[in-house]
């Protein structure tokens, strides 16, 4: 296929492009096309603006993963606007190009997040769950609405990725906390009861490919492992696997002082179950956290005295 991707140089995007390079022709939207082409050994094409296109007749699929990082900066009104506009404006431009196509892409895969649900406690939530009124919930609602502006959804099916936290030792959330755990300062966040909607990065990439290849898949999909854990369990499994102390506690009140409103990304509980993916026939390679951590993080041996 000929696939157009935004966010292709990010954590998820790079893994996806590397997975597809052998079988598909990839075009990326990126701020620095030359760097992107070098990064992928000149096996992709890259553009720095959508203005070079008047339509998307030339593409079989569009994958939209781009957006301003949501956790990097305090959520001031200005930052919230930047986070929102970076997602909505780009998605609206993509849907406009699809709508101007006489032979449009057959599939539009667009990112969202489990933040759609907000804090739902321990209750299992499927794709039919109502959205939260929180900032993240309404952000995801608007993001999905922008993707759903595609007019002819018989020709272009839409798949919305309500992504959990993709885990890999090389980056993302796990890559950021590994040094803390290796220094012996790992610990739970708040009371540790919040369910973490994690997913192994290889399963996320396989799930996106599955949605691309499966014609009857439409609508929103939870991209989270079927066997989730709470934060306390995650802390225990990670600390044990690394053979490091992991008894620190970051009180919820301290996290809210340090991070403000965005502390919800650390403290909200989202027991997101991938009901639609499983019903469609997708099989997770890593449905449980412990075996996955054992595979990607070699156990550290205790020093002999």
**How much is the pTM?**
0.95
Could you read off the pLDDT of 190-223 as tens digits, one per residue? 999 999 999 999 999 999 999 999 999 999 999 9
β strands within 256-301, DSSP E: 271-272
- Model confidence at 298, pLDDT cuts 50, 70, 90, reads confident
* HSE, side-chain direction, 13 A CA sphere, residue 71: 11
User: Under a CB-based contact definition with an 8 Å cutoff, are residues 88 and 148 in contact?
Assistant: no
CA-to-CA separations, 249 to 89, 181, 189, in angstroms, rounded: 39, 13, 6
Q: How many CA atoms does the CB half-sphere of 219 hold within 13 Å?
A: 10
By CB atoms closer than 10 A (0-12, 13-18, 19+), residue 119 is middle
Using alpha carbons, select from 26, 66, 214, 108 the residue that is nearest to residue 18: 26
The whole-number pLDDT of residue 95 equals 98
| Tens digits of residue pLDDT in 171-197 | 999 999 999 999 999 999 999 999 999
Give the pLDDT score at 303: 53
Consecutive H or E run containing 111 = strand 107-113
């Amino acid at each position: 296929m000929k696939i157009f991707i935004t966010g292709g140089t990010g954590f998820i995007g790079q893994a996806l492009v590397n997975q597809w390079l052998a079988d598909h022709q990839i075009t990326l939207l990126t701020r620095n096309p030359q760097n992107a082409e070098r990064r992928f050994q000149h096996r992709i094409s890259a553009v720095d603006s959508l203005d070079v296109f008047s339509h998307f007749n030339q593409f079989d699929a569009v994958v939209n993963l781009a957006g301003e990082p949501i956790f990097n900066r305090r959520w001031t009104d200005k930052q919230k606007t930047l986070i929102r506009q970076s997602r909505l404006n780009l998605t609206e431009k993509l849907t406009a190009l699809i709508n101007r196509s006489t032979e449009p892409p057959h599939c539009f895969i667009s990112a969202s997040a489990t933040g759609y649900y907000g804090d739902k406690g321990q209750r299992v939530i499927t794709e039919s769950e109502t959205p939260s009124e929180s900032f993240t919930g309404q952000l995801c609602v608007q993001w999905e609405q922008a993707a759903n502006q595609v007019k002819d959804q018989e020709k272009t099916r839409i798949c919305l990725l309500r992504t959990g936290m993709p885990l890999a030792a090389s980056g993302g959330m796990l890559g950021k906390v590994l040094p803390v755990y290796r220094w012996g300062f790992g610990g739970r966040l708040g009371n540790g009861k919040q369910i973490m909607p994690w997913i192994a990065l290889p399963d996320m990439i396989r799930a996106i490919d599955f949605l691309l290849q499966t014609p009857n898949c439409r609508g929103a999909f939870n991209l989270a492992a079927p066997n989730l854990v709470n934060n306390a369990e995650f802390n225990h499994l990670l600390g044990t696997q690394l053979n490091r102390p992991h008894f620190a506690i970051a009180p919820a009140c301290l996290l809210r002082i340090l991070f403000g409103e965005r502390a919800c990304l650390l403290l909200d509980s989202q027991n997101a179950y991938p009901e639609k993916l499983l019903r469609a026939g997708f099989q997770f390679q890593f449905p449980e956290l412990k075996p996955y951590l054992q595979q990607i993080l070699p156990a550290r041996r205790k020093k002999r005295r």
